[in-house]
Structure 1
Amino acid sequence: MARVVVAMSGGVDSSVAALMAREAGHDVIGVTLRLTEAAGDRGCCSVGDVEDARTVAALLGINHIVADMRAEFHRAVVEPYLDAHRRGWTPNPCMSCNRYVKVTALAAWAQRLGASRLVTGHYATVLDGSRPMLVRGRDRRKDQSYVLADVPPEVLARLWLPLGELSKDEVRTRAHAAGLPVWDKRDSQDVCFVPHGRAAFVSAAVGLTDVPVRDVAGEPVGVTLPFELATVGQRLREPGRSGSTPRYVIAKSRTAVRVGSASDLLVAAQPIEDLVSYVPRSEPLRGLVQTAAHGVALPGSLSEAAVAFDEPARRVAPGQRVVLYDAKDRVLASARVVDDD
């Protein structure tokens, strides 16, 4: 009987992952992470979530531990999140959390407990082999391969994702049949360390700098936007132009935010950094490029320096990651988009 550690967030997905690990005959230890100082009950990893995880663990008859990873979380997730906003980028803190804390740090912690695998409730699959591959979950509406797509390959080899072949409805049905009280619990949608919204959090931590908005010809539009919060691709709110062609943020600097039409957002390629590859490097890697957690994957490629699209595609906000899939829904690589300059 192998020992496994299950990351238990207190939600239905991780609870069913723990249930499946126990049903498979493993020696299961449930671990809930304490990541923030907040004493409230918003977002994942809240006080209520810890209690829910403890209750489920007791019902399943498995050991439960609360692991304090506040320092690791602040260093690896919160500080880079604020640094990205200082640069005017749009970060993805959930991917950073998976990469550095919820998967990687917890997998190392599980090893120290003598566990052979870390189990999580993500909707994706890991194909074992000489080179483990991350694959989309069967339930495409819930597929979470994108948010796991920069977990180091050596960590991926120690990850078991039992929900990959299940739908959300099937997971809730299993939880209900097992008598788990979280079977109908709503999914968390909030960034766990931003209890009162991104604008308030970033403003308090780094301050906001209003810069003028200009059109593609360089003419002032008559409004300002905070440099730290304006996101490439966001629609400009213009109450006085109702019925007019929508305008979107297409670029920004510390002196101006540029807006243009939807067609002005289209690009053929963008520079990248921090390429994580799950296959032997080739120049370039070709496949289907996904630019958001549930976005449409478009034909394109990733090289060491750039993401390129076969046809012009909507510009990706700097700080966001792009993920490359093959035709069999396997993750080939991911990278972070950076500024053009």
Structure 2
Amino acid sequence: MPAFWTESDYDAHERVELVHDRASGLTAIIALHSTHLGPGAGGTRFWHYADPAGAMRDALRLSRGMSYKNAMAGLPMGGGKAVVLLDHDRTKTPAMLAAFGDAVEALGGQYVTAEDVGASEADMVAISQRSAHVCGLPSGEGEIGGDPGPFTARGIYLGIKAAAAHALGAGDMRGVRVAVQGCGSVGGGVARLLAADGAELVLADIDGARAQALASELGATSVPADQILVTPCDVFSPNALGAILTDASIPQLACRVVAGGANNQLARAADGALLAERGILYAPDYVINAGGIINVSLEYLARQHGASVDMEDVQGRIDQIPGRLQTIWQQSEATGRPANEVADRMAQELIGRA
């Protein structure tokens, strides 16, 4: 694995930890991008990387994205992220979770972890047995915390509605054709909310059976995973893994809007300009997908500091996502700069890195 400071995605990160525990077989990377606003908060991704350098790139990119996401969401949290490198069979053991919890605790509260791809509430409970700096723990009905997926989905849904109004002049979602990539907790939640509003949905997932089942449930259409990006639609909503918008894929898009929850959708910052040149409205991912971190961060702050936070507070903050997007789009149109550059500049100012 190359030194992290040679990576193009290294952005003056405050701290990058390589964790290896021989007894459990744990290998992980914990990246802290900024603690300017508070402890670096961001989930842990459990994933098999064919090339370990890919794990480092993920940790660096995702942690920077969390700095921007938390700042733009108005949270008193910095940005951090962890990746746990799994074998080809994606083996994850209690001993590995315990060792990872010890690594989080050793950072003394500088990093607060939560769920991400490949992680579950049960994993967070196991990690919390070794560290207090964990959020996304199980919660009762009507309580904050727990699975961040539904909260992320709600923010994306609200952002899609705002984007459809801005780009299409749509007063509601009836008849708006949305192509949803990824039918897991987030993408599936987005699809259900849009279906309830009368949107016309086209669904795809790497697990084709899951996409077909959701399509049957919602009266939607499913297509193979490799076809969703080129499907004619009004809104393309990527809700799987990132780096799908490239100089090769963007010319193939047949949509007016890109608005979804996948992190790091743009393979390069310059790809935002390619979307703008095509007249495609882009909802910066770390702005539209902030609902989950809003929920679990407020859960963590309430638990750590005895703050009074309830579901109304969480929903109120998520309801502000469309307004933030509108501000970005208006500044983009006024300045001629792509939406992702406008959002990055705003976030950098908030974390003292303008």
Q: TM-score, normalised by structure 2?
A: 0.24
Larger radius of gyration: 1
Say which structure is richer in helix.
2
Structure whose residues are more often strand by fraction: 1
